[in-house]
Amino acid sequence: MTSEKRNGETERVGVYICHCGGNISDHVDVEKVAAHAQRLPGVAVARTNMFMCSDPGQELIQQDIRSGRINRVVIASCAPSLHELTFRGAIKRAGLNPYLYEHANIREQVSWVHHGEPATRKAATLVAAAVAKAKVLEPLEPIRVEARRHATVIGGGVAGLRAALDLARRGIEVVLVEKSPFLGGMAAQLATLSSSGKNAGELIKALAQAVHAETRIGVCPGAEVIACEGSVGNFSLTLEQRAPERRPEWKHQPGDYVPFAGFVPALPDGVQQFTFETGAIVVATGFQPYSPAIGEYGFRRYPEVITLPQLIRSLAEDKARGSRLVIAGKPIRRVAMIHCVGSRQIPGIHEPGEGGTLNEYCSRVCCAAALQAAVAIRESYPETRVFEYYRDIRTYGRGQEELYEQASKKQVLFFRFEPEAPPRIEPGDGPHPLQVTVRDTLTFGEEVTAEVDLVVLAVGMEAGPVQALVEKLRLPVGADRFLQEVHPKLRPVEVATAGIFLAGTCQAPMTVGEACAAAQAAAAKTAALLAGGSVELDPFVAHVDPGRCDGSGACLEACPVKGAIAMLTVENQVEIWWRIERRQARVNPAQCTGCGICVAACPRKAINVNGWTLQQYEGMVDAILEG
């Protein structure tokens, strides 16, 4: 082992290799990798541990730092997205600059894709490259940005209301933006909540009234975000707010609750645009119900085929309550409910929707909602029979299994079908307008036909139509078209853009309770970010060497982030009597994402990304070639 000196200090690298409970060590000989690392120039110590992210594993690193044995750290373990912050925190607590640390991913990039000797060789090579980079790392300091104690919540559904109220109660000024004239979102379209049996209208009314009464919250109904600039702590949003066309139910005064519409805030007059500054943004744009295609289970082909939201509304509006359900003036003696319409779609079996998309996910709440409706019908209209057609009953939440038991006790009949043989809806031959035929797997594949008066489709959840907002805020979208968080466990309400958070069903199908929990998490994260009046950001941003920059502007043309790079005119004094002016690039560290595109574009090599300089890359490449 040899050592080098950098800035007057000898580099002493500590290498720490994780077994990951067998995830790595079952395929990589970690002791062999450690022995190889120990022989690398600049390495002072190489150790292994069963779980390097555990408290004992972190303590191992901290002891070596405190004793002065090492002043650089290399961790070889799982993906850095999982525990990079964990290790930086441990290094910082031991008194070392947390950015004098490099990570080698030898789980996802090695043990999960290679077995045996190739895995060990590759792991040793990646560790050698990490060591080469660690030796030329420079201490970095976080970027501190002033932050306004102000947040904007986009979406006035139950998640948006909950997030806005929690933020206001933490002392944060809030603007709540809702594109419709009402507050409450899709939850206001429900009669009762399947998860708790509580009245949805009363819940929305109480929450919206609390928001309406909170002096720190400004509500903007009928408004949409039309422009967004700036960065975390100092976003600039432009809203367009317009008065909607008046409808009969809008005779209600501001502060009223309109069933199946929501809470009525004060509406604007005419059209107006205004711009304001905000420190953080919570996106709570919700979802939309799946709309069946024409002919799907007879939808829009037979008037007796409706969706579950339509049934829920009809049940709530039926004030007569006789022994038999009546819808649109027609007595309903038999109801068929079909599960998983627009959810758990399978390529090759289901027809793609507009844009060629399929909803391959489970919408989570449909089974419970259909069962709740079936129980309500049997309790209120005992002469109306209910048939449930399902692929799988997924009543996963607390108290949800009881709904299935109640339905069984209320003599709801269940038929189970395979996705490749769904129920067929055809005109009825007798007194009932429709008939449902299915190959029932509960009776060993027997084909069963039932005459019914009404078919109800339990439609799933789809991502809301927020493409314009996605483009303005540069939001990540998953394969399921819902907005995508950084990590479902470690950063469940954050996106890659600092200062923007997600809340509720804009992320995925959720119950009302889950949406509120996600909203509270987003509010807590936002409040913690803005509480101190400033924000700390990682320093991995572009940095311009003014001595090399010739002001060509190539970096500005290549930069994908508006405002991250600006060309400024600077004055240089060549002699006492002679001054010249020239253009020079300047980076706004609060907006730079550290993508490195400008580094490649600069003809003078005047730009580097802190923590990922060209010199560091060269060292890594040399180490890989030597391996």
Asked if residue 580 has pLDDT above 70, the reply is no
pLDDT of residue 398: 79
Task: Report the chain's mean pLDDT, rounded to a whole number.
Answer: 92
Q: Using H for helix, E for strand and C for coil, what is the string for 532-582?
A: CCEEEECCCCEEECCCCCCCCCHHHHHCCCCCCEEEEEEEEEEECCEEEEE
183/161 same-domain check: yes
| Alpha carbons 545 and 561: distance in angstroms, whole number | 20
Question: With the C-alpha atoms ordered 472, 476, 479, 484, is the resulting torsion angle positive or negative?
Answer: negative
Whether 625 maps to a domain, the answer reads: no
Please give the pLDDT value at position 275. 97
- Say whether both 454 and 468 belong to one domain: no
The angle subtended at Cα 345 by Cα 342 and Cα 348, nearest 5°, is 135
Contact 507, 546 (CB under 8 A): no
If you search the block for the tokens 């509960």, which residue do you land on? 442
The CATH number of residue 26's host domain is 3.40.50
Nearest to 175 by CA among 208, 206, 213, 216: 216
Percent of the chain with pLDDT over 90: 78
Query: Using 50, 70 and 90 to split pLDDT, how confident is the model at 198?
Result: confident
Lowest mean pLDDT among 225-229, 276-280, 339-343, 545-549: 545-549
In a domain, 522, yes or no: yes
Single out the residue in 535, 566, 591 at which a domain terminates. Answer: 535
Number of CB atoms found within 10 A of residue 2's CB: 7
**The predicted structure's pLDDT at residue 1:** 42
- Please state, in angstroms and rounded to a whole number, the distance separating the CA atoms of residues 407 and 520: 33
Residue 239 CB contacts under 8 Å (≥ 6 apart), including other chains: 177, 220, 223, 224, 225, 226, 273, 274, 275, 276
Q: Answer whether residue 76 is part of any domain.
A: yes
**116 and 192 fall within a common domain:** no
26 and 107 belong to one structural domain: yes
| Closest C-alpha to 234, from 176, 275, 272 | 275
The band of 440, judged by pLDDT with boundaries at 50, 70 and 90, is very high
Tell me the per-residue pLDDT of 594-626, one tens digit each, with 9 for 90 and over. 999 999 999 999 999 999 999 999 999 999 998
The amino acid that residue 28 corresponds to is V
530: domain CATH number is 3.50.50.60
Mean pLDDT of 72-95: 95
The CATH number of the domain where 595 resides is what? Answer: 3.30.70.20
Describe the crossing of helices 30-38 and 117-135 by its angle, rounded to 10 degrees. 40
Which residues neighbour 377 within 8 Å (Cβ) at sequence distance 6 or greater?
Answer: 315, 325, 335, 384, 386
Question: pTM of the predicted model, to two decimals?
Answer: 0.87
Q: Is residue 576 part of a domain?
A: yes
525-578 per-position pLDDT tens digit: 999 999 989 998 899 999 999 889 999 999 999 999 888 999 888 765 444 455
Q: What is the mean pLDDT of residues 281-291?
A: 97
Asked whether residue 437 is assigned to any structural domain, the reply reads yes
Give 372-416 pLDDT, tens digit per residue.
999 999 999 999 999 999 999 999 887 788 899 999 999 999 999
- Whole-angstrom Cα distance, residue 90 to residue 8? 25
Range(s) of the domain holding residue 366: 291-461
Residue 27 and residue 114 in one domain: yes
What's the pLDDT score for residue 2? 45
Phi, psi of 331, rounded to the nearest 5 degrees: -70, 135
**Pairwise CA distance, residues 502 & 279, whole Å:** 15
Residues shown for the chain: 627
The reply to whether 219 and 256 lie within a common domain is yes
Split at pLDDT 50, 70, 90, the class of 103 is very high
Is residue 432 situated within a structural domain?
yes
Per-residue confidence at 319, pLDDT binned at 50, 70, 90?
Answer: low
Number of domains composing the chain: 4
568: closest CA among 586, 541, 589?
A: 586
Both 277 and 206 in one domain: the answer is yes
User: Is-contact 305 458, C-beta < 8 A?
Assistant: no
Please report which residue ranges of 381-462 form alpha helices under DSSP H: 401-409
Tokens of 519: 């909203």
Same domain, 195 and 266: yes
Separation between Cα atoms, residue 110 and residue 17, nearest integer Å: 13
Q: Are residues 248 and 301 in the same domain?
A: no
- 565 and 606 inside one domain: yes
Asked whether residue 273 falls in the same domain as residue 404, the answer is no
From 535, 552, 585, the end of a domain falls on: 535
Residues above pLDDT 70, as percent of the chain: 95
Q: Is residue 145 part of a domain?
A: no
Confidence tier at 250 by pLDDT (50, 70, 90): low
Q: Give a yes or no: residue 623 inside a domain.
A: no
Contact 533, 146 (CB under 8 A): yes
Q: Which two tokens stand for residue 197?
A: 């049996």
Query: Are 471 and 363 within one domain?
Result: no
pLDDT above 60 for 500 = yes
Last residue of one domain, picked from the residues 441, 461, 481: 461
Beta strands in 137-264 (DSSP E): 143-146, 150-154, 173-178, 217-221, 223-231, 234-242, 257-258, 262-263
Under DSSP, the state recorded for 441 is G
